[in-house]
Amino acid sequence: MPRLSFREALNQAMSEEMERDPNIFLMGEEVGHYQGAYKVSQGMLQRFGEKRVIDTPIAECGFVGIGVGAAMVGMRPIIELMTWNFSLVAIDQILNNAAKIRQMSGGQLSVPMVIRGPGGAAHQLGAQHSNSFEATYCNTPGLKVVMPSTPADAKGLLKSAIRDADPVVFIEAELLYSEQGEVPDGEFLIPLGKGDIKRAGTDCTIVAYSKMVGLALEAAKVLEKEGISIEVVDPRTLRPLDDELIFQSVRKTNRCVIVQEATPHSSFGGEIAYRVQRECFDDLDAPIERVASEDVPVPYALNLESIVLPDVARVVAAVKRTLYLQ
Determine whether 129 is an active site residue. Answer: yes
**Torsion angles phi and psi, residue 98, rounded to 5:** -55, -45
Give 49's contacts (C-beta < 8 A, 6+ positions apart): none
The answer to whether 197 and 212 have CB atoms below 8 angstroms apart is: no
Same domain, 280 and 318: yes
Closest CA relative to residue 24, chosen from 112, 107, 87: 112
Q: How far apart are CA 305 and CA 183, in angstroms?
A: 32
Average pLDDT, the chain: 97
- Residue at 189 is within a domain: no
Domain count for the chain: 2
Look at residue 76 in the predicted model and tell me its pLDDT. 98
Closest CA relative to residue 44, chosen from 7, 72, 81: 7
Same domain, 216 and 314: yes
Point out the catalytic residue in the list 29, 80, 129, 172.
Answer: 129
- Residue at 190 is within a domain: no
- Segments forming the whole domain that contains residue 95: 3-182
Determine whether 60 is an active site residue. Answer: yes
Point out the catalytic residue in the list 8, 16, 17, 60.
Answer: 60
If you count them, how many residues does the chain have? 326
- Residue at 187 is within a domain: no
pLDDT tens track for 129-154: 999 999 999 999 999 999 999 999 99
Query: Mean of the pLDDT values across residues 215-228?
Result: 98
Same domain, 130 and 253: no
pTM: 0.96
Q: How far apart are CA 35 and CA 32, in angstroms?
A: 5
Which CATH number is 304's domain given?
Answer: 3.40.50.920
Q: Where are the alpha helices (DSSP H) in the chain?
A: 6-20, 44-48, 60-72, 91-92, 101-104, 134-138, 151-163, 212-224, 243-253, 268-280, 302-308, 312-322
Same domain, 29 and 151: yes
